[in-house]
Amino acid sequence: MNTKEKILIADDSEINRAMLSDILSPDYEVLEASNGEEVVECLKQHSSEINLVILDIVMPKADGFEVLAVMNRNGWINSIPVIIVSSENAPSYIEHAYHLGASEYINRPFYKVAIRHRIENTVKLHAKQKHLENIVSEQIYEKEKSNMVMVDILSHIVEFRNGESGLHVLHIRTITEVLLRQLSSVCGQYDLTPARIALITNASSLHDIGKISIPEDILNKPGKLDKEEFEIIKTHSAVGAQMLEGLTYYQDEELVQVAREICRWHHERYDGCGYPDGLKGEEIPVSAQVVAMADVYDALTTRRVYKPAYPHKRAMEMILNGECGAFNPILLECLKEVGDYLESEVKIRSAGKISNDSIHTLVHDTLHSINVSDRTLDLLEQERTKYQFYASMTKEIQFEYNYGSDTLILSEWGAAHAGVNESIQHPQSDSSLLRIFSGEDFCDLRERLQKATPQNPIVSRRYRLTLHGEPRWYKAVARPLWGLDEEAPPTKIIGKFVDNEEEQKTLDKLIVQAQHDDLTELLSRNRAYEEIALRLSDLGNTKAALMVLDMDTFKNVNDSYGHFYGDKMLKAFAGRLKRSVRNSDIVARIGGDEFLLYVEYKGCIQKLADRIFHMVSGAYEGFEVSASIGIALAPENGVTYEELFICADQALYACKQAGRNQWRVYDDSMKTILSSLSRQPEEEKEEDTV
């Protein structure tokens, strides 16, 4: 029987076919075709046997591109790799060949060794791909079959209200799997194959489905149940089993049978003191024994409405000391062996919310001979552990939101820090979440994420979170996740909140510094302009005055006493100016010894101007301080900052021309006086030395 792979060589040149045939015939069975029609005919007859097509582009009757098109229409391109061997080396040819599904493009002339290895690699790669496809097809069939069963189960019970936590189910699966693996390694009596472990792990998710028949006020009662309530809640195990027994189909499915065992008997105890049937010892199926222990461990180590969470060490002591009922001694030994690993594994899977726990086992068992797959799985496992480690170290509130289930999942550290559950259904209406993240901010973040695109997916924004009664600034960084079809709506959102309080305080401090004069702590010129322009835009019938003040002969102070003394005098002058007006008025330093004042007033401007003038004037450490003040009125002299400043500056200049140490209100006689906005620096310098 011929076991060689078949290769079809298609070329209109017989010598080209012969050369390739000589290279390949020692290792492969070679078929030949001299034109495109022969290629198609050969594929029709032998498509299931051909492992590779070597195709020339230029051929009679149908060229290589037409052959590729036919292979696409008939689906052959999906199962048969194609290598183009041609002397055509134009980029358009090469691009078109790859576009139509060619695996390789080899130019003539070629080296014998090189083409043999490239052909060999292509054939081997495709053979492995086929092998993997067959394996995956089998696994998909089994998984899809189980999924159909699960969907039917869920459809059967959808009329009930289920109050169980998604994390509880995930924890039960994780603990069950870890215990079963340990049990299989130390005890052979239960025939725990990898497939059996995966089956029991999946079925454990249904252990408490009977609780949907229990009233919520009993399920969620914060205190201890009374005798009557406890008898009611005990019925959930039998009710869950009855639900599964009531299925119209799938009664013979192993998953259903195991799930029924778990539902009915996961509250039985090894000494016969459990419920509902009082089974004892090995009368209890191993599936129910393991889930019973998993259920107790998770109930102890997680917070419930009626109790706080116990530490792992305390929970282990309670189980091993028999405080939670009797368990199989072999199982107790298994629990002791995996205790530390169990604690970390529950945390890791809780943080990552990995729900398909059996993937590693199934793939490892099926594909054990494929080293690359094993290595990849090991690397993924390392990455998952590394992610959990880094997540716990960063002290960030990391989150994941699922659109389909409307569920928000927080990292373990983030949930503990925020004081909320790790899994939150319908987060937009969750009162515990809204206490720390306001509804307004929630809507703002949601709207920004809705506007994100695959091209610009990242959203970054600062929000105030109220944690432990203290509001703090946090920076939110998040992005939507799309499936393969980026045109479809996103399926998830991932992101994190990073404490930004200290950074924000520093930023606020810098902003304040930028808006104020360092020496006098008055507003800076630009900040004053913004504030004044804003008020003038809504002035209405209010009267306002813009004043430009200049300390007379201040240059002499610096020259005679030095800049240190001059700075002290500037600070003193600024203090007097600020005390001369109300807190609501705007006071700024706009130059070396120039100041700006904006006031809104009633009555007579003369009285106000005279009061300010006399308050800023007077002696300072033996030196007589005087000032010149130019005043512009709104709306009489203008209604914009620029108009008023020019008028006030012209009035100031008029004061200087008249001998300084006075104030003046702008009038039309000052129109010809140039303001500082139009005077040249030389003119200002000359005037300052008069």
End-to-end CA separation in angstroms for the chain: 118
Q: Which pLDDT score, from 0 to 100, does residue 208 have?
A: 83
Residue 479 confidence (pLDDT) above 60: yes
Q: Which pLDDT score, from 0 to 100, does residue 126 have?
A: 82
Chain position carrying tokens 């999906």: 78
State the angle between helix axes of 329-352 and 166-186 in degrees (0 to 180), rounded to the nearest 10: 140
pLDDT band of residue 392 (cuts 50, 70, 90) is low
Contacts of 183 (CB under 8 A, 6+ apart): 190, 192, 286, 290, 330, 331, 334
Chain position carrying tokens 């040149």: 13
- Name all contacts of 93-101 with Cβ < 8 Å and 24+ positions apart: 93/57, 96/65, 97/57, 97/64, 97/65, 97/68, 100/65, 100/68, 100/69, 100/72, 101/68, 101/71, 101/72, 101/77
Chain position carrying tokens 């594994």: 345
Q: Which pLDDT score, from 0 to 100, does residue 249 have?
A: 65
- The Cα 63–Cα 55 span in angstroms is 9
User: What is the overall mean pLDDT for the chain?
Assistant: 82
Let me know: does 331 contact 293? Beta carbons within 8 Å.
Answer: yes
Q: What is the pTM of this model?
A: 0.38
Q: Which of 312, 316, 313 is nearest to 324 (CA)?
A: 316
For the domain made up of 397-507, the CATH class stated in words is: alpha beta
Residue 678 confidence (pLDDT) above 50: no
For the domain made up of 160-357, the CATH class stated in words is: mainly alpha
Most confident region among 15-19, 120-124, 598-602 by mean pLDDT: 598-602
- pLDDT, average across residues 188-214: 84
Copy the structure tokens of residue 147: 């999924």
pLDDT band of residue 444 (cuts 50, 70, 90) is very high
Give the residue, 283 or 562, on which the prediction is more confident.
Answer: 283
DSSP letter for each residue of 64-76: HHHHHHHHHHHTG
Residue 685 confidence (pLDDT) above 50: no
Let me know: does 554 contact 566? Beta carbons within 8 Å.
Answer: yes
Let me know: does 478 contact 494? Beta carbons within 8 Å.
Answer: yes
Give the residue, 184 or 487, on which the prediction is more confident.
Answer: 184
DSSP letter for each residue of 228-247: HHHHHHHTHHHHHHHHHHT-
pLDDT band of residue 288 (cuts 50, 70, 90) is very high
Residue 364 confidence (pLDDT) above 50: no
Q: Which pLDDT score, from 0 to 100, does residue 562 have?
A: 79
pLDDT band of residue 524 (cuts 50, 70, 90) is confident
DSSP letter for each residue of 75-104: TGGGTS-EEEEES---HHHHHHHHHTT-SE
- pLDDT, average across residues 197-209: 85
pLDDT band of residue 544 (cuts 50, 70, 90) is very high
Least confident of 93-107, 228-242, 675-689: 675-689
Let me know: does 346 contact 309? Beta carbons within 8 Å.
Answer: no
Copy the structure tokens of residue 368: 């054990």
- The Cα 483–Cα 285 span in angstroms is 41
Q: Which pLDDT score, from 0 to 100, does residue 641 have?
A: 92
- pLDDT, average across residues 38-47: 90
Neighbours of 193 (CB within 10 A): 12
Active site residue 593: yes
Residue 150 confidence (pLDDT) above 70: no
pLDDT band of residue 263 (cuts 50, 70, 90) is very high
Q: Which residues on adjacent β-strands are paired with residue 107?
A: 86
Let me know: does 174 contact 349? Beta carbons within 8 Å.
Answer: yes
- The Cα 45–Cα 64 span in angstroms is 19
**For the chain, how many residues are written?**
690
Q: Which pLDDT score, from 0 to 100, does residue 387 have?
A: 64
- Per DSSP bridges, beta strands 407-410 and 423-425 are antiparallel
- The Cα 70–Cα 82 span in angstroms is 13
Helix residue spans in 187-325 (DSSP H): 194-203, 216-219, 227-234, 236-245, 254-265, 286-301, 312-320
pLDDT band of residue 1 (cuts 50, 70, 90) is very low
- The Cα 294–Cα 252 span in angstroms is 26
Q: Which pLDDT score, from 0 to 100, does residue 391 have?
A: 64
- The Cα 625–Cα 661 span in angstroms is 9
Least confident of 104-118, 549-563, 625-639: 549-563
Q: 587 in the Ramachandran plot: left (φ > 0), alpha (ψ -120 to 50) or beta?
A: beta
Q: Which pLDDT score, from 0 to 100, does residue 617 have?
A: 87
Strand, coil or helix: what is 308? coil
Residue 293 confidence (pLDDT) above 90: yes
Residue 2 confidence (pLDDT) above 90: no
> What digits encode the pLDDT tens for the residues 303-321?
876 778 899 999 999 999 9
- Listed by start position, the domains of the chain span 6-132, 160-357, 397-507, 516-688
Kindly state the DSSP code that residue 428 receives in the 8-state scheme: G
State the angle between helix axes of 36-46 and 64-74 in degrees (0 to 180), rounded to the nearest 10: 30
- pLDDT, average across residues 537-566: 84
Catalytic residue among 538, 593, 649, 688: 593
Within 13 Å and on the Cβ side, how many CA atoms surround 318? 15
Residue 286 confidence (pLDDT) above 90: yes
Q: Which CATH superfamily is domain 6-132 in?
A: Response regulator (3.40.50.2300)
- pLDDT, average across residues 164-175: 72
> What digits encode the pLDDT tens for the residues 455-475?
889 999 999 999 888 899 999
User: What stretch of H or E contains 39?
Assistant: helix 36-46
- The Cα 409–Cα 415 span in angstroms is 9
Residue 355 confidence (pLDDT) above 50: no
Residue 356 confidence (pLDDT) above 60: no
Q: Which pLDDT score, from 0 to 100, does residue 664 have?
A: 92
Q: Which pLDDT score, from 0 to 100, does residue 53 have?
A: 93
- The Cα 31–Cα 16 span in angstroms is 13
Is the link from the previous residue into 635 a cis peptide, with omega within 30 of 0?
A: yes
Copy the structure tokens of residue 229: 């309530």
Residue 686 confidence (pLDDT) above 70: no
> What digits encode the pLDDT tens for the residues 82-110?
999 988 878 888 999 999 999 889 888 78
Dihedral sign, Cα of residue 285, residue 287, residue 290, residue 296: negative
Return phi, psi of residue 151, to 5°. -65, -40
How far is residue 592 from each of residues 210, 248, 653, measured CA to CA in Å? 82, 92, 16
Q: Which of 557, 550, 571, 576 is nearest to 675 (CA)?
A: 550
Q: Which CATH superfamily is domain 516-688 in?
A: Reverse transcriptase/Diguanylate cyclase domain (3.30.70.270)
> What digits encode the pLDDT tens for the residues 325-352?
999 999 999 999 998 888 877 776 655 4
Q: Which residues on adjacent β-strands are paired with residue 407?
A: 402, 425
- pLDDT, average across residues 525-540: 89
Dihedral sign, Cα of residue 574, residue 578, residue 584, residue 585: negative
Percent of the chain whose pLDDT exceeds 90:
33
Return phi, psi of residue 29, to 5°. -85, 125
- The Cα 536–Cα 638 span in angstroms is 10
Chain position carrying tokens 């002969």: 553
Let me know: does 201 contact 177? Beta carbons within 8 Å.
Answer: yes
- pLDDT, average across residues 403-413: 84
State the angle between helix axes of 525-536 and 501-515 in degrees (0 to 180), rounded to the nearest 10: 90
E-state strands within 134-198: none
Q: Which pLDDT score, from 0 to 100, does residue 136 have?
A: 63
Residue 538 confidence (pLDDT) above 70: yes
Q: Which pLDDT score, from 0 to 100, does residue 262 have?
A: 93
User: What stretch of H or E contains 340?
Assistant: helix 329-352
User: What stretch of H or E contains 480?
Assistant: strand 470-481
Least confident of 17-26, 29-38, 498-507: 498-507
